[in-house]
A and B are shown apart, each in its own frame.
Chain A
Amino acid sequence: MFAYLMKRLFQAIAVMFAISLISFAIQDNLGDPLRELVGQSVSEEVRQELRDELGLNDSFFKQYTRFAGKVLQGDLGTSYFFKEPALDVILKKLPATLELVLGATIIIIGVSVPLGVYTAIKPNSLFSKIVMGISIIGISIPVFLTAILMIFIFSVELRWLPSFGRGDVVHVFGPWSTNFATVDGWLHILLPSVALASIMLPLFIRLIRAEMMETLQSEYVRFAWAKGIRPKRIWFVHALKNTLLPVITVGGVQIGTMVAYTILTETVFQWPGMGFMFLEAVNRVDTPLIVAYLIVVGFIFVVTNTIVDLIYGLVNPTVNLSRMDA
């Protein structure tokens, strides 16, 4: 177990190194930060002075080492716009995004497992064909269109659900305030979660269906039928458990990816999360904030993947984490 964890940790560090290098490297191409800082009325000499002062004229290697050294101390630079540490800005926005991703994940799991299982068991039923048809359409519609359509139907026409913002949130601790404590909070998170879930949902239904169909063809499922086991037990114990093993691996990665997908959803719903913040940062050429965002998202991604691998090891009896060596 220890050796396995060390190996994972080493991999995570390597991935984070690559992410930090790439995100740092692109910041030179994001426009001149001085333009944002000082405006147009400052002369070229003063600009050069400021460049020297900010270290922008140093070599790439020198700039990166300085940057990496600070990052290791938890300093991801200072946002030009907010004039405060970029990490603090992001951490303030993080809970909103994580709650949105959590809401979408619950919807995805709650909907894709039953639908995937059903369409695998009864592939020829009308309902299955409808589900598969809709899922193809769902894959092809971009999230901003789904989101705007939902706002139009449920907020503008039916007036059932609010169209923007987080509504009534309850402060929990630190920067974290939750949507899940009030009815108003629930109503506000519903549409954005569904919109965010809509990107991954068709993929998950199809993935679960395909895996489930393959599992249902396996010898051990056939043997379970030959033993006279009830269909429900065969589907939900014998087949589903084996189906979920590969789904966990792929699904975990996708849920990590969803953190990045929040950019569009949050923008449409004016959701005060870090995706919305990122888009604003891009508009303002707030380079430190952009770089910090990329690093934080990369970090979340690495952490989710590691957790997913650990869960996989716990669920799959043929993987023995305690005996897994590097």
Chain B
Amino acid sequence: MPLLSVRDLVVKFAMRDETVTALKSISFDVARGDRLGIVGESGAGKSVTGFALLNLISRPGFIDSGEILFDGMNMADMSDAELREVRGNKMAMIFQDPMVTLNPVLTIGQQMVETLQAHRKLSRKEAEQIAVLKLREVYIPAPEERLAQYPHELSGGMRQRIIIAIALLLDPQLIIADEPTTALDVTIQADIMELLLELCTTKKVSLILITHDLGVVSQMTENTLVMYAGRIIEAGRTREIINDPQHPYTQGLINALPQQTLPGERLKQIPGNMPSLSAAPKGCAFNARCEFAQDRCRMEVPNFEQIGPVKVACHEVRRLHHETHKQEDLA
């Protein structure tokens, strides 16, 4: 049995005039110790997926239907007290911007101790000892002194390390990292990712890494989901998806990577923008930006089906798959 199994998850947002669907029935699994990347542009529903897993979608969003089976329990039906047991304890989350994630008026020590005390009967002294241990694991220098410091006294990279340490405090089974480095300096991004990878592999913690950076996904994860306008459009082993993307959108994302472009040349960006939730086109949501789109793509939503080693939602994929492989054969 996988550690996490999401089935037909639908998340909606009740706006003033209409209810928009942010996640349109998504399903995926995460095995124990597995690392899964969720990629897509802004607005694809990646972060909503992450927050939905902890049942922490803020108003006016809500889980409309579907199952989130975590360690055999359905998170979507849990009481508030049961959810609290899971949050921070078995399933922890790392947020996007470390500058705003820590409470500015509480010390690092208070914010770590309270997390431990929320889940275990520990004295402040005992909790502080564990906190120091965890700070050391994320390579925070002089961890004992950090406990008395406030977040504003620390740099962004340092704060994200502390947030990772908080996520690790109770040895969770799953960590959800929502773009953990987008708010950080480029030089620090690699350090944080390396640290996260190291901790997840040595402690055998499962990781869901939400990012828009396919390069990061290829280094960090074993499996990948590509999301577009609230749906999963391609899923499979990360290696397969990076080396042989099937969906035209995934191909576009990979072609848009700077590594794919010669110096001085324009980046090969995907034309157009992701449609807003309330204005998604009929049929495949990608049709307006897709160079292969046919009439059928503008009418019917494509099924999510197995094509070779990966699962893809695209009407044209069989034909495209066939053609590219024919070209390869010829070459």
Residues A222 and B105 in contact, CB atoms below 8 Å apart: no
Residues A228 and B87 in contact, CB atoms below 8 Å apart: yes
Considering only residues 97-121 of chain B, those with a C-beta below 8 Å from chain A are 97, 100-106, 114-115, 118-119
Residues B152 and A318 in contact, CB atoms below 8 Å apart: yes
Considering only residues 302-319 of chain A, those with a C-beta below 8 Å from chain B are 315-318
Residues B84 and A228 in contact, CB atoms below 8 Å apart: yes
Interface size on B, residues (CB 8 A): 29
Chain B residues, CB < 8 A from A224: 103
B249 within 8 A of A: no
Considering only residues 214-246 of chain A, those with a C-beta below 8 Å from chain B are 217-231, 233, 237-238, 241-242, 245
Residue of B whose beta carbon sits closest to that of A245: B105
Considering only residues 117-131 of chain B, those with a C-beta below 8 Å from chain A are 118-119
Contact of A223 with B101 at beta-carbon distance under 8 Å, contacts A228-B119, A238-B106, A317-B150 already known: yes
Contact pattern, A 243-261, Cβ under 8 Å of B = 1, otherwise 0: 0010000000000000000
Compute the total of residue contacts between A and B using a CB distance below 8 Å. 77
Contact pattern, B 20-59, Cβ under 8 Å of A = 1, otherwise 0: 0000000000000000000000000000000000101010
Residues A226 and B105 in contact, CB atoms below 8 Å apart: no
Residue of B whose beta carbon sits closest to that of A242: B105
B85 within 8 A of A: yes
Closest-CB distance, B17 to chain A (whole angstroms): 19
Residues A220 and B89 in contact, CB atoms below 8 Å apart: no
Residues A219 and B87 in contact, CB atoms below 8 Å apart: no
Residues A218 and B114 in contact, CB atoms below 8 Å apart: no
Contact of A238 with B104 at beta-carbon distance under 8 Å, contacts A222-B95, A318-B152 already known: no
Residues A229 and B118 in contact, CB atoms below 8 Å apart: yes
Pick the residue among A226, A238, A317 that contacts B56 (CB under 8 A): A226
Closest-CB distance, B105 to chain A (whole angstroms): 5
The complex places the Cα of A230 from the Cα of B119 at a distance, in Å, of: 10
Contact of A228 with B118 at beta-carbon distance under 8 Å, contacts A242-B103, A242-B104, A318-B150 already known: yes
Chain B residues, CB < 8 A from A245: 105
Chain A residues, CB < 8 A from B320: none
The complex places the Cα of A218 from the Cα of B97 at a distance, in Å, of: 12
Residues B56 and A225 in contact, CB atoms below 8 Å apart: yes
Pick the residue among B54, B80, B100, B118 that contacts A219 (CB under 8 A): B100
B93 within 8 A of A: yes
**Residue with the greatest number of chain B CB neighbours at <10 A, chosen from A218, A219, A228:** A228
B220 within 8 A of A: no
Closest-CB distance, B99 to chain A (whole angstroms): 9
The complex places the Cα of A226 from the Cα of B85 at a distance, in Å, of: 10
Contact of A219 with B97 at beta-carbon distance under 8 Å, contacts A226-B54, A226-B56, A318-B152 already known: yes
With A222-B58, A223-B93, A242-B103 given, can you name 12 additional A-B contacts, CB distance below 8 Å? A219-B100, A222-B95, A223-B95, A224-B103, A227-B87, A227-B92, A228-B87, A228-B89, A228-B119, A233-B118, A241-B103, A317-B152
Listed in ascending order, the chain A residues whose CB lies under 8 Å from chain B are 217-231, 233, 237-238, 241-242, 245, 315-318
**Shortest 5 CB-CB contacts between residues of A and residues of B:** A228-B88, A227-B88, A228-B87, A219-B100, A220-B103
Pairs A–B under 8 Å by Cβ, sample size 21: A219-B95, A220-B103, A221-B103, A223-B93, A223-B95, A223-B163, A226-B87, A227-B114, A228-B84, A228-B86, A228-B115, A228-B118, A229-B114, A230-B118, A231-B80, A237-B114, A238-B103, A241-B103, A245-B105, A315-B105, A318-B104
